[in-house]
Amino acid sequence: MIRKLVIAAVLVVAVALGAFWVLTIPKRMPASAIEGGTPDLANGRTMFLAGNCASCHAASREERTKLGGGVALRSPFGTFYGPNISPHPTDGIGRWSEADFVTAMWDGTSPDDRHYYPAFPYTFFQRMRQTDLRDLFAYLKTLPPVAGKAPADEIAFPFNIRRGVGLWKLLYLDGKRFQPDPARSAQWNRGAYLVNGPAHCAACHSPRDWLGGIIESQRFAGGPDPEGKGWVPNITQKGLADWTEDDIDFMLETGDLPDGDSVGGSMREIIRNTSKLSPEDRTAMAVYLKSLPPVDGPRRN
């Protein structure tokens, strides 16, 4: 009897491990799926600025095109370090193909078929158009190569089991691209695309569940700073009811608030990028943000 129970237990474990392995196979885009055409470097720079890439990948606050990585991102799961995404051939992404880059941005999979941790916000980048990703990749390849790799992530068990991220993706990575709302203006749709895609505003301005996923019912409603440095404001009409579109636009350009104060914390880094966007893109983002319905966020203790 005991022997049968042991055999049954072994079989159950084997089936569970097999299912885990199959369900967590990293997804990869074939080179044949990459669209043709000459990349637009100016648009690539726009995506670079909207995506706030320098804040996580440029260790020097003054040399924001040197993307050697090393910037620490602290979280409840451990400390992650932005990797080198300069065009260095061995330490950066200099030998990546377009398919490698799109796969990383859409599917969170590395060129050597490992899951990236979702500290890399690919759940937002999956909304981006392939043409914009190709333009961004081409722009990154024009920046200075930087030697050196970022420190290894400091993650405790069981979160350091990278294969387990595949299960996390089943819950939070749906693979859907941004779909314009035909009932809205082109300006509103441009703002929605920038805010929900490259700018990934909800990554900081939304509370998260115990697995680190966005709580969809409170998207944009603010909450604890992911790095444990205070509280991120609600940017729905619950928090911005007294703001005008012009107020939001001006804040994205200057960092100044309607009450005469200015943004603080990591938002200062974001303003360094949004201030360089075109006025049309900043206004589009303001129009979209002002349209967000009021949503109650978590209670601040």
For the stretch 116-139, pLDDT in tens is 999 999 999 999 999 999 999 999
Mean pLDDT of 252-267: 89
- State which amino acid sits at residue 197: G
Of residues 25 and 55, more confidently modeled: 55
Mean pLDDT of 240-261: 94
What pLDDT does residue 142 have?
A: 97
Location of structure tokens 């360094």: 272
Q: Which of 24-28, 104-108, 247-251 has the weakest average pLDDT?
A: 24-28
The mean per-residue pLDDT over the stretch 31-55 comes to 93
> What pTM value is reported for the model?
0.91
> Around Cβ 120, how many Cβ atoms within 10 Å?
18
pLDDT for 156 equals 87
- What is the widest separation between alpha-carbon atoms in the chain? 77
Residue of 143, 141, 113, 137 whose CA lies nearest to 125: 137
Cα–Cα distance for residue pair 38/211, rounded to 1 Å:
40
Q: Are 148 and 84 within 8 A, CB to CB?
A: yes
Q: How confident is the model at residue 294 (pLDDT cuts 50, 70, 90)?
A: very high
Q: Which has the closest alpha carbon to 251: 266, 240, 263?
A: 263
The pLDDT score that the predictor gives to residue 19 is 57
- The pair of structure tokens assigned to 250 is 């001006």
End-to-end CA, the chain: 55
Q: What are phi and psi of 183, to 5 degrees?
A: -85, -5
Task: Return the H-helix or E-strand segment holding 75.
Answer: strand 72-75
Above 90 in pLDDT, residue 186?
yes
- What is the mean predicted confidence (pLDDT) over 196-216? 94
What percent of the chain clears pLDDT 90, i.e. is strictly above it? 70
Say if strands 223-224 and 154-155 run parallel, antiparallel, or are unpaired: unpaired
Query: What residue segments make up the domains of the chain, in order of their start?
Result: 2-162, 186-291
Instruction: Show the DSSP H helices in the chain as ranges.
Output: 2-23, 41-50, 53-57, 98-107, 122-125, 130-140, 165-172, 186-196, 237-240, 245-254, 267-274, 279-291
**What pLDDT sits at residue 229?**
73
Are 292 and 235 in contact, with CB atoms under 8 Å apart?
A: yes
3-state secondary structure of 214: strand
Percent of the chain with pLDDT over 70: 92
Q: Which residue has the higher pLDDT, 130 or 298?
A: 130
Q: Residues 275, 253: contact at Cβ < 8 Å?
A: yes
Give the Cα separation of 50 and 253 in Å (integer). 12
How many Å separate Cα 285 from the centre of its chain? 17
Residue 117's pLDDT is: 95
- How far apart are the C-alpha atoms of 37 and 55, rounded to whole Å? 29
What does each C-alpha distance from 46 to 101, 105, 176 come to in angstroms?
Answer: 17, 16, 22
Residue 23 has pLDDT above 80, yes or no: no
